[in-house]
Amino acid sequence: MKSVLDGTDLILSMGGAALGFSTGCKVSTTTETGERVTKEASSGKWKEKFVKSFSESITADGCVLTDGDSEIPTYDQLKDMMLAGTPIEASYSLREGDKRTGKTEGGYKGKYIITSLELDGQAGDDAKYSVSLENSGKVEKIGTGLTSPSTGDV
């Protein structure tokens, strides 16, 4: 039996701490390609493509905490990370059992720059934030990535 990843179990961590009260996370990995037109290829009118570079962006949102700590970053801590202007360690992985943190032996990690941080406070509703990150260097697979290790069951 195959199992589908529950979006609730995708955990984003920044600066070593999982985001608290997170409501969403989206990871976009893209490839920039180039074209190579040679005399051989042009006779068939088909373009030849090659990979120039990879990039990754992450967007996440959640409820704003006013009493977070080093284990649960607050809006203020995210803002401090952004305004420092330096890449931070970020990772995304599956939830560790019933904990709020991600597994350390699987997922993806790299250095990212916070490119956007939005704060939205509507009357009568929870204040929310949205944060966007872009990679600064290589993104590496940790262990089996987002795939659970095989248990031998078929």
Domain boundaries, the chain: 7-28+57-143
pLDDT in tens, 49-106: 899 999 999 999 999 988 877 788 889 999 999 999 999 999 999 887 777 777 778 8
Name every residue whose Cβ is closer than 8 Å to that of residue 89 and which is 6 or more positions away in sequence: 14, 15, 16, 109, 110, 111, 112
What is the model's pTM?
0.84
Cα 134 to Cα 142: distance, rounded to the nearest angstrom:
19
Q: What is the CATH number of domain 7-28+57-143?
A: 2.30.110.20
